[in-house]
């Protein structure tokens, strides 16, 4: 996959102000407000910025955190992680490997088989329903 690189002006033209704040400025939506928090359809969650596949609905679960949560990415190459030292603590930030859009964070308190909880902002996602 070819890395997508755009200017901030190009990202602003493509994304809504709310999406831009999340994916380019590393914002966070309020818990329990996102479109995909309680969403149950079958399909694939893709990056809102570039359309790259990120998560399958089969790996989504209700973590009770208020954000869509997944226990495994779509592929080993779908995501990149980096250290986030904001908010006075160390967390692992999750970004799209294709365009570096901020998606959320990953934690080690998820279900088996991975033990991971990818806590993702709904505004960083789009959804492609199965059989579309």
Catalytic residues: 119
CB 52 within 8 A of CB 97: yes
C-alpha 104: how far from its chain's center?
Answer: 5
Identify the CA nearest to 53 among candidates 68, 41, 43.
43
CA distance 75 to 17: 29
Question: Percent helix, strand, coil in the chain (nearest 5)?
Answer: 15, 30, 50
């Amino acid at each position: 996959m070819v890395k997508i690189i755009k200017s901030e002006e190009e990202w602003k033209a493509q994304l809504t102000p709310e999406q831009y704040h999340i994916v380019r400025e590393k914002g966070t939506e309020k818990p329990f407000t996102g479109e995909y928090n309680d969403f149950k359809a079958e399909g694939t969650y893709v990056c809102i910025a570039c359309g790259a596949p990120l998560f399958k609905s089969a790996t989504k679960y209700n973590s009770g955190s208020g954000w869509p949560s997944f226990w495994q990415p779509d592929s080993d190459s779908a995501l990149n992680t980096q250290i986030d030292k904001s908010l006075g603590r160390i967390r692992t930030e999750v970004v799209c490997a294709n365009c570096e859009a901020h998606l959320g964070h990953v934690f080690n308190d998820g279900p088996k088989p991975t033990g991971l909880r990818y806590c993702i902002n709904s505004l960083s996602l789009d959804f492609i329903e199965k059989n579309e």
